[in-house]
Amino acid sequence: MTETEAKSIHTLIRELQSIIKNSQEQWGLNFPKGQGDKGDKSDKSQTNIAIANAVHTFGPVNLNELFEEIPQKITLMREIITQFKNNMLTGIQGSEQSLSNYINQLKKETERLDSLAELKDSIKTCKSLALDACHDNSTAFKFIIQQIESLGKQLGLLIYHDTGEPGETVLTMSGAIIVLDIKYDEILNRIIKVVVSYATDARQNDKDDRVNNLLTQQLSDFKQFNLFKKNLETLKTLETMSKLIQPVDCFHCIKCISNDIKTIYEKEFAITNGDVQKILTEGHGIPLFNVDRVGPSIAYWAPKHQIMEIDWKFIKDIIIQGEMHESFRSLHRMWISMEKSRTPHLFLPPGRNQYLLNDELENEIELMENYYISPELPEVQFSLLQAPLKFLHPKEDSTIFASALIEFVVWLDPPVYVSDNVARHIGSYAGIVNRGYFVSSAFQKKDPQTLSLEQLLIEGIIPPIKHSSTSRAPKIIHQWEKKFDDSLYLQVFNLDSKCNTKARRIDRIPFSNLFQVYGLIKILRQQLLFNKLYQSCFNSSTYKQITITRPSKHDHAEKISPDAEDAEAKIQIKVQTINSPTGLSLDIQLPSKIISPQITIHLSVTILHEDSLLCYATGFGDISNLNEELTGVLQTYQDIPMLINHLLNSLLKPQNVEEIKIEETKLEETKLEETKFEEMNIDGINIDLNLDEIEEIESNMMIDENVMNSYIVSFN
């Protein structure tokens, strides 16, 4: 085997290592080499937890591509070694030993090169950190240009340099379809302009200044270089799939999706008279283009407090123009792209630019020969439009479509924590629930190391516990406290350890048609609203860690007795999840010196539109008449502490407390009279008592009024 062939094996090994390393980073496994074996148990436990929560069909890594690339690399290495054995060692005495020696030599060489490669990576990291803090713009800028060239070569792009005006240079990176021209000033050390163009005639009209502006901005700021890298990788991936899987044009497919989401927004904008907030939370979402990532995305949800901070009158004009605004980054978005698939999918022909059926211009009957007409399902239909939208879905037996092992994918920004049931629901709407790898890799087995939904929603809030070997180690209590200025009482929220909802983190969702995306939006909105309510109780700003030192035999009991007066000012609240994300239950215990009811509030989270939140309260006398009022508060603020504060202000006013206490006392006295007469009729013996005898019995009864909710009756 030649030296070139030997290096090719090393190259394949490095590529395989790179694939695994990149996957580990996306899964959150950024631990040093050897830590998995020599690290302490707590670190290893955290690693297992990260693996358990990250590796599934909707995780950050495309398992389809991973399952394809790893066997390919291994197969190529086997072919090279087999070729060497058959061509070079055939008929040579001791060839088996020679092959074994050669493999060992390759292994040693690979280890040496691997060590050098790791050293190079470390040097690059140190250089990057140094340049980040460097005030010498010239040095930092030269490094950025080097990084751009290196990135282009890694992606297989051809690199050219062209010097124009004095001090100005154009760096061109050219592929089979995409061409990137980066114009920069070597004297002023700045990026002047990035221009993306296309080498094919079909894509000449796809030039977009918004893409150019986005890449120029990201390349001008070294801190955004990783975003620039991801966007360039996206463009190259679309090019590669378009080239290898002809005649499917991935750029055309993305353009069809862009046209659809823009058309749907225009329909809802006209019906709602420009109510962009309503479209965001109750409609098909807001179309955004080239916000951080190249291509279309949909803003589909935001919590109420963020919605109230945005100037929507100003924003709606920017949306119509397709421009960028900083406030878009505060919205929950799904970015649409394409990736490899294990199953074939059909795509629109070049002559059609939309999946959406236009009832006014198109004949549905004529299209039925080649398309299925897929209307929005009633359970995911949005009420803003009078009639459900209709989407075209290519028929498998039609000859006008191209089939390819690629599919659309939405990336959620930020990722969303969902229950397992919701993840299954998502799989159903995305059309992948019946794939074998979906069931086996994601939901067939329950890993004991996975975090529950409740744990994921408070992830990073509770600091790590330092274990102590002493018998008098302090006891740690975790609780969350909230107090409002207009209230005398401190709300204390406690986790219910019995609530352990199986959960997944959703980063990306493959799909084949846009109507599936709108079903996903409705499901995700329900889960996000549930998560927001839960995190309004449990968040970093309200977290408090209480340390209780275990007393020794010499300590006095009174030193550890709780402050009774302080306890009376606290409202204890236990939060329970009920079939997430459909409901929450709040068990509220008021101070006993005021009155002793146990209030229970049930919160129902639905995927309806205007009534997505419903509130039902029981206890503290008859407070069901407050349900409508409490529901209004919850829908307005989406904040449980504010809901409880409103309830306390309504109920714990002196006049309200006295009125309810009088009503409860009268009710208990009535029940007491009924119970007394029932006891007089024991074993079917009727005892007739006149009024004087009843009064005599009542005079001998003592009622302990200090005991709430249960009256103790004794006879002298």
In a shared domain, residues 257 and 233: no
**Residue 557 domain-assigned (yes or no):** no
**Residue 459 domain-assigned (yes or no):** no
**Residue 454 domain-assigned (yes or no):** no
Going by C-alpha positions, the residue among 260, 257, 261, 255 that lies closest to residue 356 is 260
pLDDT score for 151 = 92
**Residue 217 domain-assigned (yes or no):** yes
Number of domains present in the structure of the chain: 5
In a shared domain, residues 226 and 282: no
pLDDT score for 35 = 45
C-beta separation of 229 from 151 below 8 A: yes
pLDDT score for 407 = 92
In a shared domain, residues 12 and 79: yes
Last residue of one domain, picked from the residues 132, 153, 181: 132
Amino acid at position 624, single letter? S
Going by C-alpha positions, the residue among 188, 189, 191 that lies closest to residue 180 is 191
In a shared domain, residues 103 and 160: no
Last residue of one domain, picked from the residues 132, 154, 186: 132
In a shared domain, residues 706 and 647: no
Q: Exposed, middle or buried by CB within 10 Å (0-12, 13-18, 19+), for 80?
A: middle
User: What is d(CA 430, CA 5) in angstroms, rounded to the nearest whole number?
Assistant: 44
Per the structure, the complete domain to which residue 365 belongs is given by: 250-441+506-519
Last residue of one domain, picked from the residues 196, 219, 244: 244
Sign, Cα dihedral of 265, 266, 272, 274? positive
User: What is d(CA 412, CA 427) in angstroms, rounded to the nearest whole number?
Assistant: 15
In a shared domain, residues 210 and 353: no
Compute the 3-state secondary structure of the chain and give helix, strand, coil in percent, each to the nearest 5.
50, 20, 30
Q: What is the DSSP letter of 452?
A: B
Angular region, 561: left φ>0, alpha ψ -120 to 50, beta rest: beta
Decide the pairing of beta strands 168-174 and 371-375.
unpaired
**Residue 469 domain-assigned (yes or no):** no
> Strand (E) positions, 448-606?
475-482, 490-495, 503-511, 543-548, 570-578, 583-589, 598-605
In a shared domain, residues 100 and 141: no
- CA angle, 704 as apex, 702 and 706 as ends, to 5°? 165
Measured in residues, the chain has a length of 716
**Residue 543 domain-assigned (yes or no):** yes
The pTM of the full predicted model, rounded to 2 decimals, is 0.78
Task: Give the residues of the chain that fall short of pLDDT 70.
Answer: 1-7, 29-54, 88-99, 102, 118, 127-137, 375-381, 433-449, 465-473, 549-568, 592-596, 608-611, 620-622, 653-671, 674-716
- Give how far Cα 555 sits from Cα of 477, 493, 549, 552, Å: 21, 30, 11, 5
Half-sphere exposure of 691 (CA within 13 A, CB side): 0
**Residue 452 domain-assigned (yes or no):** no
Backbone phi, then psi, for 404, in 5-degree steps? -155, 155
Q: Which residues, in sequence order, are CB contacts of 136 under 8 Å at separation 6+?
A: none
In a shared domain, residues 264 and 223: no
Q: What spatial distance separates the first Cα and last Cα of the chain, rounded to whole Å?
A: 109
In a shared domain, residues 535 and 641: yes
User: What is d(CA 335, CA 696) in angstroms, rounded to the nearest whole number?
Assistant: 81
The token duo for 308 is 């109230």
Decide the pairing of beta strands 583-589 and 598-605.
antiparallel
C-beta separation of 338 from 407 below 8 A: yes
In a shared domain, residues 116 and 143: no
In a shared domain, residues 627 and 683: no
What's the Rg (C-alpha) of the chain?
Answer: 34
What's the gap between Cα 625 and its chain centre? 37
Going by C-alpha positions, the residue among 166, 249, 154, 152 that lies closest to residue 194 is 152
C-beta separation of 202 from 269 below 8 A: no
Counting other chains too, the contacts that 550-555 makes at CB distance below 8 Å and 24 or more residues apart are 550/471, 550/472, 550/473, 550/474, 550/475, 552/472
In a shared domain, residues 198 and 67: no
Provide the H-helix boundaries in 245-299: 250-271, 276-282
Going by C-alpha positions, the residue among 371, 278, 362, 359 that lies closest to residue 316 is 278
**Residue 450 domain-assigned (yes or no):** no
Report the DSSP beta bridge partners of residue 479: 544
